[in-house]
Structure formats: structure tokens, C-alpha cells
């Protein structure tokens, strides 16, 4: 694996590969790599000749500076994992490299409804920051494919919208959510959970399964109430949302309709760690 810290060096290398007609798959990350990231690398390898992974903890997508400062960093382990999983290129830029003119976003992205709900509601500005950094990375790397995980379902929709707005000639590959044996979704934030908290946090998965089993049988109000009881009785401290939505638009739904693809999304706090997860229902 070749590690690049500077855009100019990375671009020189990529130009050579593109001249040889190699296809480029890109996996953007903030590090603290886990099985979910590695499966995205694998998917990119299956589809492309060359895989580029970026590690950059993007300050502009954190609406809370404490969350940014506490974001886990395991760079030596990350490099080892990328090497052993045969990633071709790691891009590890500094903040100055990504934002040479400062972090301020000059022109906000017109994301519409999608950034007003769920994560957008609870983390104001978060998706503008995500778009800012992914837009910048796409302009640097110009990959053929970008690979992102379904765990951040809303993020994928937002990035897809940004790709359309900015006419990036890139296709999205969506990786399924990887889970621990307990059902807990793989996440960089899991590093900050104790073993006991990790066990309790699997209640998100249990509540998603409960909803899936009962979605056609019970009213959405009752289902959400019972799912929130599952979470709170398992030691979650606070629930930001349990929402049943149209998977195409993320519009919240109030009753079951078999012709609509439905997704349930949850965000809740185990101690001070905010976890998110989702599941398609049909």
C-alpha cells in the first residue's frame, strides 16, 4: 500500500493509473477502522482495479466540539488493517491540505428536505460538513466508484444528492451493515463503549427486529412506544429518534403500506456515546 499525505503526490500517482485505464474505487473514512470499513474495501476491490481509502476526521461535520475531540483515532492499527486487506492507496491528509482556505463553507449545498429530519434535525450542519468533505475528496481523487455503508443510510442519500448537484461522474456502491454476534452494528464509536455497554447496546438491533416482526400487526405509535421501552429498559440513557420512514424519501410514515419500501432508523445514547442504526422492513 502506498500512503500519500499530499494531494499533488496522490494526483500524480492516480493520473498514471488512469492513463493505464485502471478503474478507481474510493472508500472515505474517518479512521478507527472496523469490519464494516474492511467489507467496503473488499466490495471496492471486487468492482475496481485500484482502491483508495481516505482517513480524515473532518472537523466541519461535527456540530459538537467535544464529539470531535473525543473521536477515536487508531492510525497504526488502521494502516495495519489496510495493508493486510490489500488496500492499494491510503490518503491521509492534514486539515490544511483539505481546507487550505479555511473550513468555512462558501456555498451551502441545497439538500432540501433530506437534511431537515433525523440526523439533520439532531445534528444541525452535520450534512453540510459531510458534503463539503466528500465533494472535496471527489474533486481530488475523481474515482469511478465511491463505497459507503448502509449504517449511515441518510448520509448515503445526502451524498447521492450532493453528487447529483455537483455532477460528479461517480457511482455509489452501498455496503450492508456489518454486525457483531450480538447484533450491534459495527461503528468506530463502539471503541468507546465498555464490554458491558456493548452488550446492552445490542438492544438497538433487538428493537429493530421487534419493529420488523410487528410492523404489519400493530399501530406505528404503539410499535415506537414499545421499541423505546426496549431501549430504555436495556440501559439507553436518551433516544433522539425512532422513526419509520419511506426508504426512498425518508418521509416519516404513520401507517403500513405494502407498496412502500419502509426503513426504520434509530439514534440513541448509551452513556455519552451516540449510536445510530437502521433496518429495511420489506
Q: Which residues of 110-137 are buried (b: 16+ CB within 10 A; e: fewer)?
A: ebeebbebbbbeebebbbbbbbbbbbbb
Q: Which is nearer to ligand PAF, 45 or 155 (CB)?
A: 155
Q: Given the rule CB under 6 A, which of 129-137, 161-169, 220-228, 229-237 is the region that contacts ligand PAF?
A: 129-137
- The reply to whether 133 sits near ligand PAF by the rule CB under 6 A is yes
State how far the Cα of 120 lies from the Cα of 114, in Å rounded to an integer. 8
Q: Residue 144: helix, strand or coil by DSSP?
A: coil
* Whole-number Cα distances in Å, 19 to 22, 138, 150, 154: 7, 18, 32, 35
Among 50, 134, 263, 264, binds ligand PAF (CB under 6 A): 134
Q: Given the rule CB under 6 A, which of 22-30, 177-185, 189-197, 206-214 is the region that contacts ligand PAF?
A: 22-30
Q: How far is the CB of 58 from ligand PAF (least distance, A)?
A: 4
Active site residue 37: yes
CA angle 4–28–144, rounded 5-degree value: 90
- The reply to whether 29 sits near ligand PAF by the rule CB under 6 A is yes
Q: Which is nearer to ligand PAF, 159 or 263 (CB)?
A: 159
Q: How far is the CB of 193 from ligand PAF (least distance, A)?
A: 18
Per the structure block, which three cell numbers stand in for 46?
471486487
The backbone torsions φ and ψ at residue 127, rounded to the nearest 5 degrees and listed phi first, read -75, -25
Among 14, 24, 30, 223, binds ligand PAF (CB under 6 A): 30
Q: How far is the CB of 281 from ligand PAF (least distance, A)?
A: 23
- The reply to whether 152 sits near ligand PAF by the rule CB under 6 A is yes
- The reply to whether 61 sits near ligand PAF by the rule CB under 6 A is yes
Q: How far is the CB of 28 from ligand PAF (least distance, A)?
A: 4
State how far the Cα of 14 lies from the Cα of 169, in Å rounded to an integer. 16
Q: Which of 37, 126, 142, 167 is catalytic?
A: 37
Q: Which is nearer to ligand PAF, 71 or 220 (CB)?
A: 71
Q: Which is nearer to ligand PAF, 29 or 190 (CB)?
A: 29
DSSP for 16-56, please give it. Answer: HHHHTT--EEEEEE-S---HHHHHHHHHHHHH-SEEEEEE-
Q: Given the rule CB under 6 A, which of 8-16, 26-34, 205-213, 217-225 is the region that contacts ligand PAF?
A: 26-34
State how far the Cα of 151 lies from the Cα of 49, in Å rounded to an integer. 26
Catalytic residues: 37
Q: Which residues bind ligand PAF (CB under 6 A)?
A: 28-30, 58, 61, 130, 133-134, 152, 155
Amino acid at each position: 500500500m502506498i500512503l500519500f499525505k499530499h494531494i499533488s503526490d496522490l494526483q500524480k500517482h492516480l493520473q498514471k493509473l488512469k492513463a493505464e485505464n485502471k478503474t478507481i474505487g474510493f472508500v472515505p473514512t474517518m479512521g478507527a477502522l472496523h469490519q464494516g470499513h474492511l467489507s467496503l474495501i473488499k466490495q471496492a476491490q471486487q468492482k475496481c482495479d485500484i482502491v483508495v481509502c481516505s482517513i480524515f476526521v473532518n472537523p466541519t461535520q461535527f456540530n459538537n466540539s467535544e464529539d470531535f475531540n473525543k473521536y477515536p483515532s487508531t492510525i497504526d492499527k488502521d494502516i495495519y488493517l489496510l495493508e493486510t486487506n490489500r488496500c492499494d492507496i491510503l490518503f491521509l491528509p492534514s486539515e490544511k491540505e483539505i481546507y487550505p482556505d479555511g473550513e468555512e463553507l462558501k456555498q451551502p449545498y441545497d439538500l432540501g428536505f433530506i437534511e431537515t429530519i433525523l440526523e439533520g434535525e439532531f445534528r444541525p450542519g452535520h450534512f453540510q460538513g459531510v458534503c463539503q468533505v466528500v465533494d472535496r475528496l471527489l474533486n481530488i481523487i475523481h474515482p469511478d466508484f465511491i463505497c459507503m455503508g448502509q449504517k449511515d443510510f441518510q448520509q448515503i442519500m445526502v451524498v447521492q444528492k450532493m453528487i447529483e448537484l455537483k455532477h460528479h461522474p461517480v457511482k455509489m456502491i452501498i455496503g450492508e451493515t456489518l454486525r457483531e454476534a450480538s447484533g450491534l452494528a459495527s461503528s468506530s464509536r463502539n471503541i468507546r463503549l465498555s464490554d458491558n455497554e456493548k452488550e446492552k447496546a445490542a438492544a438497538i438491533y433487538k428493537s429493530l427486529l421487534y419493529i420488523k416482526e410487528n410492523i404489519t400487526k400493530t399501530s406505528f405509535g404503539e410499535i415506537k412506544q414499545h421499541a423505546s421501552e426496549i431501549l430504555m429498559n436495556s440501559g439507553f440513557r436518551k433516544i433522539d429518534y425512532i422513526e419509520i420512514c419511506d426508504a426512498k424519501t425518508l418521509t416519516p410514515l404513520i401507517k403500513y403500506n405494502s407498496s412502500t419500501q419502509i426503513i426504520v432508523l434509530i439514534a440513541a445514547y448509551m452513556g455519552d456515546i451516540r449510536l445510530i442504526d437502521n433496518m429495511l422492513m420489506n
